[in-house]
Structure 1
Amino acid sequence: MDCKYCRKPIIRNLTIVECLLPLAIYPEICVECQKKFQRIDENCCPYCSRQQSTKMICSDCEKWAKLYPEYHFQHTALYQYNQGMKEWIYRFKFLGDIQLASTFSKELNKAIHKQKVDIVCPIPLSNKRKQERGYNQVEEILKAAKVPYQLLLSKRDDLSPQSEKTKEERLKMSQPFELSWTDKMTDCSILIVDDVYTTGRTMLHAIDCFKELTRVKIKTFSLAR
């Protein structure tokens, strides 16, 4: 089996358990590549999964909670947005290495399954951006993880990429999304998924699109925070 990141063969001694259950626990990436990524541990913000020294609510979420008092923040992320993750995102999103979509597929499948939701909704790209890139990176990681999803949102074309904006510009960004599919969205739970959570502005804009729906519970999830 080859590493999903560096493409080199994964060679190591297997335990008895791994021999009996290879498909369940065999790693997607090699030991050296695993060192590049840092999982978020229990000392994180309970609202947004931001890694910190305590389990207290972070300053960003305190501000968002005042602006969204009716929303119960439930964001889960797997990895810290460290240098290793930045390099992976750059290769995957901006260099077009679509094969990297499967790097974290087993972990994503397991983590999203734990959310126990009815619908998984990826953050969309505008039609223009998707044509330029050739794919929506969030859709691709969900496909690789074998997670069914529905495209409930659409995004306007007249916006510059998030990666080109400063933190202040992201926070001031106007609503870029609109609800494009509403069938059977009553009495259900929805998980909005993105690749990276930075300021939270993108997720909260997405959440706003569902606020008029009846008895819909929203949670959010990202690969990195």
Structure 2
Amino acid sequence: MEEGGQLVSLNIGGRHFTTDVGTLKRAQASFFVILLDKRWRHSPTEEHVMENLHFFIDRDPRHFGLILDHLRKVPFNLPSCSRAIGEIRREAEFYCLDDLLKVISRHEFHDFGKGPIFPGDRIQVNSKKLEEMEAIGNDSEVHGHLGMTRLDYLHGGEIYCSLCGCNSKGFDGFQRAITERRSHGDIGTVRRVHNNGKCCDVSFGSSKLIYHIPATIVDLVYEN
């Protein structure tokens, strides 16, 4: 078996994780690259070295799953809690994960994932926040908002967004309501922001449909 595909068992503060050598070596000059250097694994035979990749690391395991997702290049969400972000930063510093530290710094610049949002950002609709907004759909501040209205059922005149103040003349492409999108777990790309980031126009995948969404119900997604 090639070394990159060799499984590695990690005991992080009493919690067990399994990954492979290739994943752990993905971040250059990291703690894991040094850990897996054969010079530090004393063994009578090469076969014994390759068959016994078990390590104990005396660190807090709470955020290690997120660290592995980062190394696996899987999209992930950072928490909105500043305390949790501080904990992740400390772990990233310990493991010498420079790219993850850059992501954390950008997240903090975005006010812990709440905004501002910029064109090109990758986002997910927060289902819980969407449900809360739908629950107050008759509220005067929300009523008639583009993100909450079945736009294809409106006839004549301009469509006005009461949250960001823009109207249908300022939109690029056909607008749809986010409530009409069945899958809210998909990752979308911000195409345009309105009124200093109060709302954003988002596309999902290869679809040409554009969704006008309140920035308060989206979470930033980080991809490697």
Question: Is the structural similarity TM-score above 0.5?
Answer: no
Q: TM-score, normalised by structure 1?
A: 0.26
Instruction: Look at both structures and tell me which one has the larger radius of gyration over its CA atoms.
Output: 2
Report the structure, 1 or 2, having the larger strand content: 2
Q: TM-score, normalised by structure 2?
A: 0.26
